[in-house]
């Protein structure tokens, strides 16, 4: 059984929530410098547009199967352990482990209000959680000087896990660009988890998530922002998968 599945050139780990948490905990204990990308269909599609971004994602130490279509493709490939490893679920599960083991976390992303509310909500769930810092970057690229100051601030707080909620592809590029400057063992890009866990946005009910229709729920909640991602991106994803399957079949018969 393969530990990774290739979906349109993106090497996604055939993992699940428990395995991912065990791996991250071991990386924290070993002080292994790592960054983790979560990969729904939208991330796979972004990787089709930008080869450099695809390389950044594939260089991550872990790429989690964040969407049900990714999970279904993994199971079709014969992997029975793969399950959805969803950014918000991963963050909550790891925060529980951090609280139990005294690991320190830092929150980087979202608006100031979202970040502060996320901190309050996490502490309400896990009173022993050690949140050593939070920062909401401006909605523009940081200057080199600003970025360096931010890195110094994070390093000074010495977190074990840095949660990055900038949205993809921005968060993945930021982690890749700054990983060598940061003394943090593990960085995890969790996208909309900051909004969902702070209560700023509504999560789809579990049955909708399991059905693979979460995209429709999110589209109904934010049609102006997400229509292109889902109404164009999803059909394109299916077309590219079909094309890839046909290409592989042709290669097998030549």
pLDDT in tens, 152-182: 999 999 999 999 999 989 999 999 999 999 9
Bridge partner residues of 64 (DSSP) = 38
Task: Characterize the bridge pairing of strands 186-189 and 34-39.
Answer: parallel
- Which domains are assigned to the chain? 4-197 (3.40.50), 209-252 (no CATH)
Residues with Cβ within 8 Å of residue 198, at least 6 apart in sequence: 110, 114, 115, 117, 118, 121
For residues 59-80, one letter each, b for 16 or more C-beta atoms within 10 angstroms of the residue's C-beta and e for the rest, the string is ebbbbbbbbbbbbebbeeeebe
Determine the Cα–Cα distance for residues 233 and 60; give it in Å rounded to an integer.
23
pTM of the model: 0.92
Residues 112-158 pLDDT 10s: 999 999 999 999 999 999 999 999 988 888 888 888 999 999 999 99
Location of structure tokens 């990308």: 37
**Residue 250 CB partners (closer than 8 Å, separation 6+):** none
């Amino acid at each position: 059984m393969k530990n990774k599945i290739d979906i349109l050139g993106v090497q996604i780990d055939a993992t699940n929530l428990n395995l991912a948490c065990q791996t991250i905990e071991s990386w924290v204990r070993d002080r292994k410098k790592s960054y983790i990308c979560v990969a729904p269909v939208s991330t796979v599609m972004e990787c089709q547009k930008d080869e450099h971004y695809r390389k950044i994602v594939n260089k991550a130490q872990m790429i989690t199967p964040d969407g049900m279509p990714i999970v279904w493709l993994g199971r079709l490939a014969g992997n029975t352990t793969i399950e959805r490893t969803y950014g918000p679920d991963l963050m909550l599960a790891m925060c529980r482990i951090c609280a139990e083991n005294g690991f320190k976390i830092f929150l980087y992303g979202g608006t100031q209000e979202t970040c502060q509310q996320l901190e309050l909500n996490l502490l309400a769930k896990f009173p022993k959680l050690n949140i050593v810092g939070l920062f909401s970057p401006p909605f523009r690229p940081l200057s080199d000087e600003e970025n360096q100051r931010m890195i110094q601030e994070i390093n000074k707080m010495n977190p074990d896990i840095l949660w990055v909620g900038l949205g993809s592809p921005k968060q993945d590029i930021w982690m890749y660009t700054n990983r060598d400057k940061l003394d943090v063992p593990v960085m995890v890009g969790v996208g909309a988890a900051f909004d969902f866990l702070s209560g700023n946005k509504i999560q789809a009910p579990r049955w909708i998530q399991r059905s693979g229709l979460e995209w429709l729920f999110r589209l109904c909640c934010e049609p102006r922002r997400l229509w292109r991602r889902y109404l164009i991106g999803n059909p394109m994803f299916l077309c590219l998968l079909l094309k890839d399957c046909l290409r592989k079949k042709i290669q097998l018969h030549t």
